[in-house]
Amino acid sequence: MVPVNLGALSEIHVLVVLKSNYNDKYLRYVHEEDGEMHGFVQFSGEEIVSPYTKYELEMAKSTHYGKGLVHIRCCYNNKYLVRWSPKHNWIVAGADEPMEDKYNWASTLFEPLYIDGVAQTIRFRHIHYSYYACLWRAAPPHDFGLFIGSSTLDQDLRDVYTIIDWESLLIMPKHVAFKGNNDTYLGTRLLEGRLYLHFSSSSDIGDPTVGNEVVTTSNGSVRIKSYHSGKFWKCSNHNWILADSHDSYMPSSSNVLTRFLRGRSEQRRKQKQKQKQENNSPESDMLFWPIKVDKNVVALRNLGNMIVREYIKGLFVIYKRESCSSVVDSEEFEPEALVESGVAHQKDNSVVKMGLEEAHRGWFN
């Protein structure tokens, strides 16, 4: 997950996902045609990539009430976040047009207040009411809804969100193959009793050893399963990527990706030691984060080898060494993969280029 560059909020439009620092859920549009909550927004989203969790921050045209004010548009129904009514402080995705009149109860102006530029945390203050927009605890079905709740900061962080760049989220195809610069595909090979991933396995996309299934988790990280071995990729103790792991992954609301984004946040420093221990779990060694480095440039990062420091410098990519796949720090290698016609071509002999291909029938034979 790549957080949004807070400096980019000076642009006219920025696509984001908002994640609560209180319950680790994503702000989602409640789509219930006949339900009481239809049109509300609520911190109950489990999936980071969903049509219900995508929002656009739109800069206010007027600077009459100050610079940097934004409107928040729900991309699912194309409506702006606004108070439900003059008598209610619940926020709904219900305004057809932005309203920049501060003194109108239907104003859609919010002031973003940045807390931590590293952890990408933020608060929003409603301009008309001058209260913070908070995750609100209430009786069902309104529990976890967005509410104009308090003029003071909430000690439980119900008014704090992690802001995530939607454009950085890479949705990989379900069936993929990885192609090296020698025009051969990454396939499984038994070496010294271990099932390694090898780049000289085959030049045929239909070879049954080269196909993989991508399983996307709720936070956007992926597990990669070799069709040939029927087992998942996993980073070994020696940083080799092996295709010999059984499916033991258990989803957790306190996932390693969330821990990374918050690792340097002042509010989470007390959890640092515990996080280090959990990052060594077998489950995190099976998780990879697909990173869109550029428009057609991608890299994979193994979360089990994650170092909590500057985001780019801590990036890990799969790379080619002695024809096998391994994990290295990007301080030594620059990640760059050009995706052309579904196949990535290698520009640097050290870095594995990731080709996205639909599965050939040979993978399943």
Assign residue 259 the CATH number of its domain.
2.80.10.50
pLDDT in tens, 206-222: 888 888 898 888 888 88
Give a yes or no: residue 356 inside a domain.
yes
- Hey, what long-range contacts does 203-207 have (CB within 8 A, 24 or more apart)? 204/362, 205/177, 205/357, 205/360, 205/362, 206/360, 206/361, 206/362, 206/363, 207/362
Domain that holds residue 188: 175-364
Helix (H) or strand (E) holding 257: helix 256-262
User: Binning pLDDT at 50, 70 and 90, where does residue 185 land?
Assistant: confident
Q: In this predicted structure, what is the pLDDT of residue 305?
A: 63
- Same domain, residue pair 359 and 214: yes
- Same domain, residue pair 331 and 260: yes
Of the residues 135, 168, 201, which one is the last residue of a structural domain? Answer: 168
Query: Using an 8 Å Cβ cutoff, are 302 and 288 in contact?
Result: yes
pLDDT in tens, 87-112: 999 999 999 999 999 999 999 999 99
How far is 46 from 258, CA to CA, in rounded Å?
13
Pair of tokens at residue 246:
């059984």
- Same domain, residue pair 158 and 97: yes
Cis peptide before 3 (omega within 30 of 0): no
Whether residue 326 has pLDDT greater than 60: no
- Same domain, residue pair 153 and 198: no
- Same domain, residue pair 183 and 149: no
- Dihedral pair phi/psi, residue 86, rounded to 5°: -60, -20
- Same domain, residue pair 200 and 109: no
Q: In this predicted structure, what is the pLDDT of residue 160?
A: 96
Q: Which residues pair with 359 in a beta bridge?
A: none
Place of tokens 């990640």: 335
- Same domain, residue pair 109 and 204: no
191-202 average pLDDT score: 79
Residues 6+ apart with CB under 8 A from 132: 123, 124, 125, 126, 148, 149, 150, 151, 153, 154, 159
Q: For residue 349, which of 339, 334, 363 has the smallest C-alpha distance?
A: 334
> How many domains would you assign to the chain?
2
Q: For residue 203, which of 172, 225, 181, 224 has the smallest C-alpha distance?
A: 181
Least confident residue range of 106-120, 156-170, 254-268: 254-268
Do you know the residue count of the chain? 365
Three-state secondary structure call for residue 18: strand
User: Binning pLDDT at 50, 70 and 90, where does residue 59 land?
Assistant: very high
